[in-house]
Structures are given as structure tokens and as C-alpha cells.
Amino acid sequence: MIIIEVIAPATHEDSIIRLAKQNNARDHWISSRSDKQIALKILVEKDRSY
């Protein structure tokens, strides 16, 4: 397994989580958040990280 970190505008949070779920991510969590930006970590199988 690997962790992919995504740093993006806070307005994209729902879209990123939706994409993680659609691609069978094992888990996801927000590691930091501000009004303008979020950092999400997504746990995936190594063969799904292409």
C-alpha cells in the first residue's frame, strides 16, 4: 500500500474524495485544512497508483 497526498484548493474537497472512492481507495483523511487549502491523504493499493 502507498499513501498519496493531495494538496488542493478547499473548494475541491468533495471532488477529490469522490474520485478516491470511485477508484477504490482503501481510506482517505484530511491531514490539514484552512479556508483556502486542504491536504488529503489517500491510501491505495500499490498497483492502483498509476
How far is C-alpha 6 from the geometric centre of its chain's CA atoms?
5
pLDDT attached to residue 46:
85
- Tell me how crowded residue 38 is: count the other CB atoms within 10 A of its CB: 19
> pTM of whole model > 0.85?
no
Evaluate whether 28 touches 43 at the Cβ level (below 8 Å): yes
Evaluate whether 18 touches 6 at the Cβ level (below 8 Å): no
Distances (CA, A) of 12 to 2, 30, 41: 22, 12, 14
Alpha-carbon span 48 to 36, nearest angstrom: 29
pLDDT attached to residue 50:
65
pLDDT attached to residue 30:
95
Per-residue pLDDT of the chain (50 residues; tens, 9 = 90+): 999 999 999 999 999 999 999 989 999 999 999 999 999 999 999 886 66
